[in-house]
Homo-oligomer: A and B are copies of this chain.
């Protein structure tokens, strides 16, 4: 039996606690980071609070047992507890009202020694399947890559939605394409999956498209088109 305390009130803390409650061999307690003085005994303390609060919250933990945070962009050594440190980072986007399927989520684990890493692995395996050992530098690069494929991609969906609204077309027409674009890279590398006027260097279509966009959209269209074309030029020169 692994005794776990989850510290925090956000989406990650809530979903994680729910999952541990259903797991065999895990006993979980969730407490607010404001009540840190009343910490029960545990094998692992999971700090699931905002990045800025991790150092302060961890500094208040008196236990010598393992303390981990769940952040993609905070180094393991930012933890200020007196015992062992580690990271329990789940690379996924958590929403309040959406059920989380932990069996599909990658767990990126880091610890200061093999015993702790093994303990984190056992804990992750109790709710998930995809376990990776990722150090703090790798995790930071994963986090910035995630900004491109998640935050920025969602912003492109937003621009697509804006264009539809402006021209009185239902955005739902684009949803199967959005789904297929994401599904394609399961089997193709993104470089091989690239299609469209930019990679074909189809200047006529590019010009036509620009006439339909507002100034702000044009700037983004032009920059991303240039970025794609530069790949096509490199390819052709090989």
Which listed residue (B108, B154, B168, B177) contacts A138, Cβ 8 A? B168
Contact B227 A216 (CB under 8 A): yes
Neighbour of A73 across the interface among B152, B176, B205, CB < 8 A: B205
B194-A186 in contact (CB<8A): no
The answer on a CB contact under 8 Å between B51 and A205 is: yes
Q: Is A167 an interface residue (CB 8 A)?
A: yes
Whether a CB of chain B sits under 8 angstroms from the CB of A62 is no
Task: Flag if B195 contacts A151 (CB, 8 Å).
Answer: yes
Chain B residues whose CB sits within 8 angstroms of the CB of A1 once the complex forms: none
**Nearest B-chain residue to A205, judged by Cβ:** B73
Which residues of A in the span 72-121 have a Cβ within 8 Å of any Cβ on B?
Answer: 73, 91-93, 95, 98, 104-106, 108
Chain A 147-163: CB-based contact to B (< 8 A → 1; otherwise 0): 11111111111111101
In the assembled complex, A233 has its CB within 8 A of some CB on chain B: no
State A197–B157 Cα separation when bound (angstroms): 17
Contact of A141 among B51, B163, B182, B219 (CB under 8 A): B163
Distance in angstroms from A121 CB to nearest chain B CB is 16
A56 interface residue (CB < 8 Å to B): no
**One of A14-22, A39-47, A207-215 at the interface:** A207-215
Chain B residue with the shortest CB-CB distance to A152? B224
Q: Chain A contact residues (Cβ within 8 angstroms of B): what range?
A: 35 or more
Docked CA distance A186–B169 (Å): 17
Q: Which residues of B contact A180 (CB under 8 A)?
A: 92-93
Contact A177 B144, beta carbon cutoff 8 Å: no
Residue of chain B at shortest CB distance from A224: B152
Cβ B176 vs Cβ A91 within 8 A: yes
Given contacts A92-B180, A144-B213, A153-B156, 14 further A-B contacts (CB under 8 A): A52-B204, A92-B176, A145-B161, A145-B164, A149-B178, A149-B181, A152-B220, A154-B185, A154-B190, A155-B194, A155-B227, A157-B193, A220-B223, A220-B227
**17 cross-chain CB contacts under 8 A:** A98-B184, A105-B176, A134-B173, A141-B167, A141-B169, A144-B209, A144-B212, A145-B174, A148-B159, A148-B163, A149-B174, A150-B177, A150-B195, A154-B181, A155-B198, A161-B190, A175-B186
